[in-house]
């Protein structure tokens, strides 16, 4: 079983690339982030023609997440549903093939002194409570997303440069660590403890050709799935060429 996550930076701007990637990569499940459209504007028919069902939690202009799957997603839950007044469409969950799948788009955080940064830290706490109230660490669980946090030095092209900057501050890394402490394993890092592999590159300043990137898109799996992990990587090819997303898809493979 192949499970992937991809921040597409507008699903409508990326429609052709998305369809091409589904056709070539053939993931069983794909978590999408930054749809930048409402559910009504999501290209449902094109995705269906490509052989995928879609559970969509959309929003006009910003955010928006989805779960695409060859099998129909069941028991779809949209948002954190924790009673907090929050218009951001950043989370969707569904069950596919016996696995509870979560597609997450963590807040960016803008600058360290901004309200958005505080919102980001709070959002991480809310997601941890979401897991605590709805799930058990011994369930088959996969969280795919754009986490907007580089967990370790190796996940940045220049840890000194990124020190204290949004996406790499200690508070953000702690917030992500507390989420992982639920019982989640970073699939790529588990398989490749010492390999540097980025998932995002700035559009500006030749970020991609120079490989000045960050690993901020991760797939997390619960304990029962760890022994089934057989592979994980970033698909850099999907970042090449004209009109790419600034993120590349990240995938993992589970043995049956």
Partner DNA sequence: ATGGCTCGCCTCGCGAGA
Pairing, β 29-33 against β 2-7: parallel
Q: Which residues pair with 74 in a beta bridge?
A: 95
Candidate ranges 60-68, 70-78, 123-131, 227-235; the one touching DNA (CB under 7 A): 60-68
Q: One symbol per residue from 64 to 103: x for binding DNA (CB under 7 A), - otherwise; what is it?
A: ----------------------------------------
53 in a labelled binding site: no
Among 62, 97, 126, 212, binds DNA (CB under 7 A): 62
Q: Within 10 A of 138 (CB to CB), how many other CB atoms are there? A: 10
The region, left, alpha or beta by phi > 0 then psi within -120 to 50, assigned to residue 170 is alpha
Q: One symbol per residue from 2 to 41: x for binding DNA (CB under 7 A), - otherwise; what is it?
A: -----x-xx-xx--------------------x-xx----
146 is catalytic: yes
Among 103, 166, 232, 234, binds DNA (CB under 7 A): 166
220 is catalytic: no
Give the DSSP letter of residue 208: T
Length of the chain: 256
The region, left, alpha or beta by phi > 0 then psi within -120 to 50, assigned to residue 59 is beta
Complex with DNA: residue 181 or 205, whichever CB lies closer = 205
140 lies in the binding site for DNA (CB under 7 A):
no
Tell the smallest beta-carbon distance from residue 80 to DNA (Å).
17
The alpha helices in 56-158, defined as continuous H runs, are: 115-134
Q: Within 10 A of 55 (CB to CB), how many other CB atoms are there? A: 23
72 in a labelled binding site: no
Cα–Cα nearest to 29, from 83, 95, 87: 95
Pairing, β 91-96 against β 99-105: antiparallel
Distance CA 174, CA 151 (A): 9
75 in a labelled binding site: no
200 lies in the binding site for DNA (CB under 7 A):
yes
105 is catalytic: yes
Complex with DNA: residue 10 or 185, whichever CB lies closer = 10
Query: For the stretch 186-208, what's the b/e string if a residue is b when 16 or more beta carbons lie within 10 angstroms of its beta carbon?
Result: bbbbebeeeeebbbbbeeeeebb
Tell the smallest beta-carbon distance from residue 185 to DNA (Å).
23
Q: Which residues contact 127 (CB under 8 A, 6 or more apart)?
A: 80, 91, 104, 179
Complex with DNA: residue 84 or 206, whichever CB lies closer = 206
Annotated binding site: 7, 34, 146, 148, 246-247
Catalytic positions, please?
A: 105, 146, 247
What residues line the site for DNA (CB under 7 A)?
7, 9-10, 12-13, 34, 36-37, 60-62, 107-108, 110-111, 116, 146, 148, 166-167, 200, 202-206, 208-209, 211, 214, 216, 240-244, 246-247
């Amino acid at each position: 079983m192949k499970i992937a996550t991809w921040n597409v930076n507008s699903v409508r701007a990326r429609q052709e690339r998305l369809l091409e990637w589904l056709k070539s990569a053939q993931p069983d499940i794909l978590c999408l982030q930054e749809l930048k459209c409402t559910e009504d504007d999501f290209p449902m028919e094109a995705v269906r023609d490509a052989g995928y069902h879609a559970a969509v939690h959309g929003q006009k202009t910003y955010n928006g997440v989805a779960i695409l799957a060859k099998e129909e997603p069941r028991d779809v839950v949209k948002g954190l549903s924790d009673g907090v007044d929050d218009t951001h469409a950043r989370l969707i969950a569904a069950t596919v093939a016996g696995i509870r799948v979560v597609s997450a788009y963590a807040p960016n955080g803008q600058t360290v002194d901004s309200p958005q940064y505080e919102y980001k830290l709070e959002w991480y706490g809310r997601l941890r409570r979401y897991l605590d109230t709805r799930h058990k660490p011994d369930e088959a669980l996969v969280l795919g997303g754009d986490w907007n946090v580089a967990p370790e030095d190796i996940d940045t092209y220049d840890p000194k440069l990124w020190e204290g900057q949004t996406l790499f501050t200690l508070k953000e890394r702690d917030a992500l660590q507390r989420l992982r402490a639920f019982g989640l394993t970073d699939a790529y890092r588990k398989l490749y403890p010492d390999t540097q592999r980025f998932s995002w590159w700035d559009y500006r300043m030749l970020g991609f050709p120079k490989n000045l990137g960050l690993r901020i898109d991760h797939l997390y799996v619960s304990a029962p799935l760890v022994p089934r992990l057989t592979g994980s990587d970033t698909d850099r090819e999907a970042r090449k060429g004209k009109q790419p997303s600034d993120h590349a898809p990240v995938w993992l493979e589970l043995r049956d």
